[in-house]
C-alpha cells in the first residue's frame, strides 16, 4: 500500500456547540449546503450552570459538538445554513465558530486528483 499523503490548504473547520439531541438537524443543514460529512461528539459545558447556583439545576450541561470541514469557498454558505437550522438567533440554542486550517493531510484517490487538476486547468484556460 502506498503512503500518498495529500495536503489541502484551503480548508476551514466549522464547529458548533448545541443542546444534546440537536446535532442531527445541524448535520443535515451542513450536508444540504454542500458539506460532505461531520464529526459529532458529546461534551459537558461548564460555567453558566455554576454561576446560577440553585437555578443552575435547570441548565443542561450536556452538549453535542459538531465539527464540519469545508473548503474556504463553502464556509459562508454552510455556516449560514447551520445558523438558520440551529436557530442560533434564539438565546440558549447554541453557537458556532469557524477556524481556518493551515493544512489538512489526507488520502485522495488518483481519480479525484485528476478530476480536480482537469477542472483547475479548464478554469485557468478560460
- What pLDDT, on the 0 to 100 scale, is given for residue 59? 55
The secondary structure element, H or E, covering residue 117 is helix 110-125
Asked if residue 89 has pLDDT above 60, the reply is yes
Q: Where are the alpha helices (DSSP H) in 86-109?
A: none
CATH no., domain 6-125: 3.30.70.120
Question: How far, in Å, CA of 121 to CA of 60, rounded?
Answer: 52
Distance of CA 84 to the CA centre of its chain: 14
33-65 pLDDT tens trace: 999 989 999 998 776 555 555 554 555 678 999
pTM of the model: 0.77
- Domain boundaries, given as residue ranges, for the chain: 6-125
- What pLDDT, on the 0 to 100 scale, is given for residue 58? 52
For residues 50 and 107, the answer to whether their CB atoms sit within 8 Å is: no
Amino acid at each position: 500500500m502506498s503512503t500518498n499523503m495529500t495536503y489541502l490548504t484551503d480548508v476551514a473547520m466549522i464547529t458548533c456547540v448545541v443542546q444534546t439531541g440537536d446535532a442531527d438537524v445541524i448535520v443535515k443543514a451542513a450536508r444540504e449546503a454542500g458539506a460532505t460529512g461531520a464529526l459529532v461528539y458529546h461534551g459537558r459545558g461548564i460555567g453558566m450552570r455554576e454561576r446560577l447556583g440553585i437555578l443552575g439545576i435547570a441548565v443542561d450541561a450536556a452538549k453535542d459538538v459538531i465539527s464540519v470541514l469545508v473548503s474556504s469557498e463553502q464556509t459562508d454558505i454552510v455556516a449560514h445554513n447551520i445558523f438558520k437550522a440551529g436557530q442560533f438567533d434564539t438565546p440558549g440554542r447554541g453557537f458556532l465558530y469557524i477556524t481556518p486550517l493551515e493544512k489538512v493531510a489526507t488520502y485522495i484517490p488518483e481519480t479525484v486528483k485528476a478530476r480536480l487538476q482537469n477542472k483547475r486547468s479548464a478554469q485557468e484556460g478560460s
